[in-house]
Amino acid sequence: MASPPVIEPVRRSFVLLEALSRRRTSTVSVLVEETGLPRPTVLRLLQTLMAVGYAARVSREQGYRLTDRVLGLSGSIRFIDHLVDAAIPHMSRFTADHGWPLYLATLSYGAITIRHSTAPESPMSFETAGVNQRRSMLQSALGRVWLAFCSGEERGTILRDIGGLGVRQQAALDQALQRIRRAGHAFTPPNRSSLNGMAVPIRHRQRMLGGVSMRFPRSVMDEAQAAARYARPLAQMARAVASDVAGRISR
């Protein structure tokens, strides 16, 4: 796949933002040297950053600094920290009570990304923790549960980002997502892997915050057995995590 085109003024703006972030204040001369950008370009970009509130001039001698408005750009990263911190004790308790490893995930650039796992704590784990590994939206339980419970607008965006589906594929997926919504959980589609996953959504006010999946060998139990034994405790755990996340965000 070809690399997307780079919009040069945007690239230069981020180069300058990165240079400004390295110290409390920076003079124009230092920024020119660190970025390799022409002095007139640096000055124009600084004027733009000040106009939109991301930079401020301290003095002639000290130069320029970033403002606290840049902290808003990391809001989603801080949210993931809140989610992981809230989920850890609940996930550990579930694994201690039931034995099976759990995987917490969020959406990132058209794929599911693992944020935390209790695999190291599980006596029945057959995999590593896999933190930061990416999973398919269509071929993983976590991806399918996200697609089932996110908004229609978000679902459309995700499917477009991964290349779209044919008419028959879309119809089959729509039916699968309806079944997932009725059940409240999703399983990994049949494949060659000996492991299955059962995922439930973590939601707050109808918004998807994340998903959590329990992984187990297909030879140990089928999907009906897994649902009968673990659907309720998994859903209860997910609701507890969502409640804790909401409390952390509101503080």
Question: Does 3 reside within a domain?
Answer: no
Q: In whole angstroms, how far apart are CA 55 and each of 26, 127, 225?
A: 11, 46, 58
Domain stops at, among 17, 43, 66: 66
Instruction: Quote the CA–CA distance of 108 and 135 in Å, as a whole number.
Output: 10
Question: Cβ–Cβ contacts within 10 Å for residue 26, how many?
Answer: 25
Q: Tell whether 83 and 180 lie within a shared domain.
A: yes
**1 found inside a domain:** no
- Domain co-membership, 36 together with 151: no
Same domain, 32 and 107: no
Question: Backbone phi, then psi, for 106, in 5-degree steps?
Answer: -135, 170
Residues 111 and 19 in one domain: no
Q: CATH code at 124?
A: 3.30.450.40
* Residues 6+ positions from 66 with CB-CB distance below 8 Å: 17, 20, 21, 54, 55, 56
Looking at residue 92, what is its pLDDT?
95
CB crowding 4-13: b at 16 or more within 10 Å, else e: eeeeeeeebe
Is residue 92 included in any domain, yes or no? Answer: yes
Please give the tally of structural domains in the chain: 2
Residue 147, pLDDT score: 97
Task: Indicate if 87 and 116 belong to the same structural domain.
Answer: yes
Do 51 and 144 share a structural domain? no
Q: Phi/psi at 7 (nearest 5 deg)? A: -85, 110
Strands 195-204 and 207-217: antiparallel
Whole-prediction pTM: 0.71
* Whether residue 138 sits in one domain with residue 53: no
Judge whether 169 lies within some domain. Answer: yes
pLDDT of residue 76: 56
The predicted pLDDT at position 4 comes to 66
Q: Helix axis angle, 141-149 relative to 167-183, nearest 10°?
A: 90
Q: Which residue has the tokens 């029945």?
A: 124
Residue 62 lies in a domain: yes
Query: Which of residues 38, 66, 94 is at a domain's end?
Result: 66
Pair of tokens at residue 17: 């933002």
**What is the CATH number for 51?**
1.10.10.10
At residue 191, the pLDDT reads: 81
Range of the structural domain that residue 158 is part of: 74-250
The answer as to whether 148 is a domain residue is yes
Q: Which residues of the chain have pLDDT under 50?
A: 1-2
Calpha distance 153→107 (Å, rounded): 15
**Residues 134, 22 share a domain:** no
Q: Which residues contact 232 (CB under 8 A, 6 or more apart)?
A: none
What pLDDT was estimated at residue 71? 66
Residue type, 134: R
The answer to whether residue 2 sits within a structural domain is: no
Judge if 33 and 128 occupy the same domain. no
Which pLDDT score, from 0 to 100, does residue 251 have? 58
Same domain, 108 and 47: no
Q: Are residues 56 and 90 in the same domain?
A: no
Residue 198, SS3?
strand
Q: What's the pLDDT score for residue 1? A: 42
pLDDT per residue as tens digits for the range 12-46: 999 999 999 888 889 999 999 999 999 999 999 99
Q: What is the DSSP letter of 26?
A: B
Q: Are residues 183 and 199 in the same domain?
A: yes
- Within a domain: 18: yes
Question: Residue 250's pLDDT is what?
Answer: 60
Contact call for residues 65 and 26 (beta carbons, < 8 A): yes
Decide which of 21, 37, 66 is a domain's last residue: 66
d(CA 220, CA 200): 20
